[in-house]
Amino acid sequence: MTNALISDHLIPMPLTELPAGAIFDCDGTLVDTMPLHFVAWRKTLDDLGHPDIFPETQFYEWGGTPAKEIMERLNEIHGLTLPPHETANIKEEVYQTLIPQVKPLLFVIEEAKRLYAAGVPLAVASGGRRDVVIESLEAVGIRDLFGPVVGSEDVSHGKPAPDVFLRAAELLGIAPELCVVFEDAPAGLLAAYRAGMKAVDIVRFK
């Protein structure tokens, strides 16, 4: 998959035409949580006796990847045997203590509010655990904008597989090709492409 092909599926924001449905990533798209997730990873790994195995650059490269899969990758790279599911849950629990520090990404939320006001059904599809995603949305007062919230436990494969976006479209009752995705991470943009959806790369509009 080339960047050129993905670029062909990218569209500008604000949208010039209303879609049948819109699906938003959460972390780094609606809310500025990525720095807090990195803090949670570092504390978790430090407490488990494995500091410095997850550099910040690598963390951002893997944006959108479920925590369990991240731990599986770290185990493979570093020859570790940390239990992926349990370690991911510890990390999410640490992150939950940081949620009061979450900041909204207002320029994306403004577009979500515009689409909501126009009657476009909205969903959230994230690589994070669903309950944690909902807490983040509630922390900045935007949970009510969205119908379905799809998390990592709702699908078999995380981004860049298209599963989370396809599941969100299914719950909205809208054909995937009629949905637009809002994303900040390369893995998420690739997932949208694989789902047959147009996408907004919100990084281009910061």
Active centre residues (catalytic): 25
> What's at 97, amino acid-wise?
T
Query: Could you tell me if 180 and 186 are in contact, meaning their C-beta atoms sit under 8 angstroms apart?
Result: no
* Cα–Cα distance list, 187 to 11, 66, 139 (Å): 17, 11, 25
Dihedrals phi, psi of 124, to nearest 5 degrees: -120, 135
Adjacent-strand bridge partners of 122: 22
DSSP annotation string for 66-131? -HHHHHHHHHHHHT----HHHHHHHHHHHHHHHGGG--B-HHHHHHHHHHHHTT--EEEE-SS-HH
Count Cβ atoms below 10 Å from residue 47 Cβ, excluding itself: 11
